[in-house]
């Protein structure tokens, strides 16, 4: 599926996304206030990015802790 976002009037398209990934993105973006049916603010896009960056950071820390536990 293709995903198109409008940010401050600029339309950005991601092509040929896997259906499951597309649905994940739509749901996660909505949690940050981004909707694909309307124009969105830069602040909303930044908030969405920070949400995903925080998730990734926490996952990395969890993986590091699991590796430390396994090695000890």
Contact between 51 and 20 (Cβ < 8 Å)? no
Report the C-alpha gap between 52 and 45 in whole angstroms.
11
pLDDT at 20: 97
- What's the pLDDT tens digit per position in 9-55? 999 999 999 999 999 999 999 998 999 999 999 999 999 999 999 99
In 1-52, where do the E strands start and end?
Answer: 3-7, 10-14, 39-40
pLDDT at 6: 97
pLDDT at 12: 95
pLDDT at 49: 94
Total domains in the fold of the chain: 1
Q: Which domain holds residue 22?
A: 3-71
- CA-nearest of 34, 61, 56, 58 to 47 is 34
pLDDT at 43: 94
């Amino acid at each position: 599926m293709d995903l198109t976002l409008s940010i401050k009037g600029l339309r950005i398209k991601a092509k040929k996304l896997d259906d499951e990934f597309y649905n994940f993105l739509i749901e996660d973006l909505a949690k940050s206030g981004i909707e694909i049916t309307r124009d969105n603010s830069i602040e909303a896009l930044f908030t969405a990015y920070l949400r995903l960056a925080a998730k990734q950071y926490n996952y990395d820390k969890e993986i590091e802790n699991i590796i430390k536990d396994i090695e000890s």
